[in-house]
């Protein structure tokens, strides 16, 4: 799990995607490293989310993809469905935008935290339950034992997103794709979720792809930043460099659109 910094945990090379004959991605290159948060910025419709979905093979019907998504020496794009299903949730996990809709409303938190443990790790009910309680503690849900018995609608938005993150971490993945994980939350809650992601990334050596349209979010946690426009990565590099000395005019226009420029003193 503690891969050396510098080796790519997951790399996307020349990813092209068309949905129903309409070109969405025109050759996306991205590289994620263990223990690093890679921010993927860009406006709506630039293809950020689709890039994330492509990694797990969750693209909508009528999608045609080409290129290469290398993970553990294999190409995820050519992988048979059965094998890909063993990667999903186990090695590469995903957190979605809106925790109000990404958790099953009719299943207990325990069920949603443990059901994939059984499939991926083969752990028994009792052990899975203990692990689930541990996970909830790790994402700082108060009273984890009680929380396991409850349903998603009994939690606030921020708490739900923490639960969704716990679900994603349940099988100790190496890569976490977070698709706008704070967009649907109150500003006051956002910082907590971002700190949590940052902490998990550092503690567990996760490679995180943080998809967001919010450069403020980006400046708070990302190590690397890539900027997408019209299905292409137009700029990529360390956070400080991209946000302070943008080379691409599009990045500059995004930065100019911010009410307060991202400062040096961001956490």
Partner 1 sequence: MSPTSAPSSRRTRNRALRSPLARFLVRRIVTALLLAVGITLVTFVLTNLVPGDPVSANLGQRALGDPAIVAQWRADHGLDRPLPQQYLMHLEGLLHGDLGTSQQSHRPVLDDLAESVPATLELAGAAILVSLILGVGFGVIAALRRDRLSDHVLRVLSLIGISVPTFWLALVAFYVFFFRLQVTPGSGRIDPGMTPPPQVTGLYTVDALLSGRWDVFSSAVGHLAAPALVLALYTIGLLTRFTRSAVLEVLGQDYVRAARAKGLPGRVVLFRYVLRPALVPVITVAGLAFGSLLSGTVLVEAVFAWPGVGQYAYKSATTLDLPAIMGVGLVVGVVYLVINLVVDVLYGVIDPRVRVS
CB of 90 to partner 1, least distance (A): 6
Q: Does 156 bind partner 1 (CB under 8 A)?
A: no
Q: Does 43 bind partner 1 (CB under 8 A)?
A: no
Cβ partners under 8 Å of residue 46, min gap 6: 228, 229, 230, 231
Q: Give whichever of 47 and 52 is closer to partner 1, judged by the CB atom.
A: 52
Kindly write down the DSSP assignment for every residue of 129-170, as one continuous string.
HHHHHHHHHHTT-SSHHHHHTS-GGGS-HHHHHHHHHHHHHT
Site pattern 158..177 for partner 1 (x: CB under 8 A): ------x--x----------
Closest CA to 163 of 194, 188, 132: 132
Structure tokens, 176: 């976490």
Q: What is the dihedral of CA 139, 140, 144, 147, to 10 degrees?
A: -80
Residues numbered 55 to 94 that lie near partner 1 (CB under 8 A) are 56, 58, 85-90, 93-94
Residues numbered 98 to 127 that lie near partner 1 (CB under 8 A) are 98, 101-108, 115-116, 119-120
CB atoms within 10 A of CB 129: 17
Q: Give whichever of 164 and 197 is closer to partner 1, judged by the CB atom.
A: 164
Q: Does 12 bind partner 1 (CB under 8 A)?
A: no
User: Which parts of this chain interact with partner 1 (CB under 8 A)?
Assistant: 56, 58, 85-90, 93-94, 96-98, 101-108, 115-116, 119-120, 151, 153-154, 164, 167
């Amino acid at each position: 799990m503690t891969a050396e910094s510098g080796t790519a945990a997951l790399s996307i090379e020349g990813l092209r995607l068309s949905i129903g004959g309409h070109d969405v991605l025109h050759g996306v290159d991205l590289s994620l490293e263990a223990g690093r948060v890679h921010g993927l910025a860009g406006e709506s419709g630039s293809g950020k989310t689709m890039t994330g979905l492509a990694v797990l093979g969750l693209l909508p019907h009528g999608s045609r993809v080409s290129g290469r998504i290398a993970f553990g020496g294999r190409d995820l794009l050519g992988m048979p469905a059965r094998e890909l299903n063993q990667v999903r949730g186990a090695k590469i996990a995903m957190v979605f935008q809106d925790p109000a809709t990404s958790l099953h409303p009719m299943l207990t938190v325990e069920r949603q935290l443990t059901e994939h443990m059984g499939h991926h790790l083969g752990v028994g009910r009792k052990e899975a339950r203990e692990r689930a309680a541990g996970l909830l503690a790790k994402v700082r849900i108060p009273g984890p034992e009680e929380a396991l018995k409850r349903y998603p609608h009994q939690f606030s938005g921020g708490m739900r997103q923490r639960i969704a993150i716990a679900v994603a971490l349940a099988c100790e993945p190496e890569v976490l794709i977070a698709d706008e994980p704070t967009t649907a939350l109150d500003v006051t809650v956002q910082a907590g979720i971002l700190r949590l992601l940052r902490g998990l990334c550092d503690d567990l050596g996760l490679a995180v792809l943080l998809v967001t349209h919010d450069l403020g979010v980006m400046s708070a946690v990302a190590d690397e930043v890539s900027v997408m426009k019209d299905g292409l990565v137009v700029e990529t590099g360390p956070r400080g460099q991209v946000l302070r000395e943008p080379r691409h005019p599009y990045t500059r226009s995004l930065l100019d659109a911010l009410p307060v420029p991202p400062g040096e003193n961001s956490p």
